[in-house]
Amino acid sequence: MTEITLPDGQRLLDAILEQAFNSVVITDARFDHGGPLIEKCNPAFCRMTGYPAAELIGQSPRILQGPETDPAVIERLRNCLHEGRFFQGATVNYRKDGTPYNVEWNISPIRDSQGAIRHFVSLQQNITARVQAESERNLMARALNVARDPILITDAHARIVFANQAFEQLTGYESTEILGRTPKFLQSGQQADDFYSLLKDALARGQAFRATFANLRKGGDIYYADQSITPINDAGGTVRHFVSISKDVTHKVMQEQQLSEEASRDPLTGLFNRRTGERILARAHQAATTDDRPFAVLIADIDHFKQVNDQHGHASGDRVLQQVANVMKNQIRETDRAIRWGGEEFLVVLDNASKNDALSTAERIRAAVEAISDFEVGPITLSLGCGQWQPVESPEALVRRVDIALYAAKKSGRNRVQTAANGSATGPGDAVS
């Protein structure tokens, strides 16, 4: 076996200094004659400063200072040395050729057996690259913060790592409240059922996703944003972050919704108009056939309405129509839809309703209208037909069946409800007002 002989203490210290990754400089502990002065430095320190060791030995480390060296840091260093305390700090030093570099260093006092300080040992590291990277990050953060559009950045797991000031202003949330959370807390529940599935699928394929989001502000009100979400990959192609850039379009969307709402409503009664009603019927039929969600239909007609117009004028007729429409609104559920089907005729689509549900609702509407007594026209009454959708029945066929029931109610004396018979519809027969 080969015997390994360790070098003596001095040789071991020299070997450590020679091979150390960090810059090491050792000074004496004298403060006269411009000290402390450098007694030893390793090659890493020479490479960092650009000075050969021969030009550093016997010099004060002050030769590395320059215009951008922080005086406050140097003053704190002097105080620590005089008081024999450990020092740690960072500032700007200068190489032999005059180029600046950022240095981070610590200094420890070395004491003899009696406790007297004989040397100072300093470990130093060039942190220029780190400072520049931090400066660039800070510059980027400042640039993002002055951007007018809300910007949100998440990590690969959708946890928020940055939100700019425009995002804070739009949502009402401060960055400190949302960092580390996923954006799920912004969801309003108003998006289509497959909206977020499409979002996840696009991002999983590495594609950007753009859509109008209906999100919640901190106070609970909804805002609308045209939002693009883009995956950011590293050099190896792995997704590391997602960047979302938004534009507040709440005012625009609200205007469009208002215009759409106005276009879908009957201006006199405020109920849905017939064109919209036909779409409502089609959607109810689709839900019934694909989701097994049955629905029912009521058709109501104001009794003797022609006489109201003939005897009291159209202004009174309009007032009666409005009174009946208000009863409709108040007597149906939020999920049901009341439609002015034409003239004095109304149609109600009852969501997820049985035949008995339809009959009960129709009777409730009839009784509520009967309780009205217009100051000029007097008592008002309705006749109604009702029926539940049957499998394989088209919306048009259901309406015809219920319409036959309505006319049966008219012929039976008015102010009553008639349930539609099962089977195919034929025709309403003679018109009855």
Residue 338 within any structural domain of the chain: yes
Total domain count, the chain: 3
pLDDT at 13: 65
* 350 in the same domain as 303: yes
* pLDDT tens, residue by residue, 382-430: 999 999 999 989 999 999 999 999 999 999 999 999 999 875 443 333 4
**What's the pLDDT score for residue 34?**
87
Residue 398 sits in a domain whose CATH number is 3.30.70.270
Q: What is the mean pLDDT of residues 225-249?
A: 93
Task: Give the separation between CA 161 and CA 155, rounded to whole angstroms.
Answer: 7
Per the CB < 8 A criterion, the answer to whether 431 and 412 are in contact is: no
Low-confidence winner among 20-29, 208-217, 362-371, 374-383 (lowest mean pLDDT) = 20-29
Is residue 108 located within the same domain as residue 247? Answer: no
In a domain, 431, yes or no: no
Task: Quote the CA–CA distance of 246 and 417 in Å, as a whole number.
Answer: 54
pLDDT-based confidence at 1, cuts 50/70/90? very low
C-alpha to C-alpha distance for 20 and 123, rounded to whole angstroms = 10
Asked if residue 168 has pLDDT above 80, the reply is yes
CATH label of the domain that carries residue 96 = 3.30.450.20
Same domain, 196 and 320: no
Range of the domain at 76: 9-126
Whether 20 and 121 map to the same domain: the answer is yes
Q: Are 244 and 269 contained in the same domain?
A: no
Residue 425 lies in a domain: no
Pairing of strands 160-163, 151-155: antiparallel
The reply to whether 175 and 314 lie within a common domain is: no
Same domain as 110, residue 154: no
Among 69-73, 263-267, 285-289, 421-425, the range scoring the smallest mean pLDDT is 421-425
CA distance 212 to 191: 9
* Dist. CA 1–CA 343, nearest whole Å: 113
The per-residue pLDDT for 9 is 57
Q: What is the mean pLDDT of the chain?
A: 90
With respect to residue 428, please indicate whether it lies within any of the assigned structural domains.
no
Same domain, 328 and 367: yes
Residue 297 has a pLDDT of 97
The pTM (predicted TM-score) of the whole model is 0.53
Least confidently predicted of 192-196, 258-262, 348-352, 386-390? 258-262
Sheet holding 239-248, edge to edge: 160-163, 151-155, 239-248, 222-233, 209-216
Q: Are residues 220 and 354 in the same domain?
A: no
Q: Mean per-residue pLDDT for 183-194?
A: 91
Cα dihedral sign, 53-59-63-69: positive
Domain presence at residue 285: yes
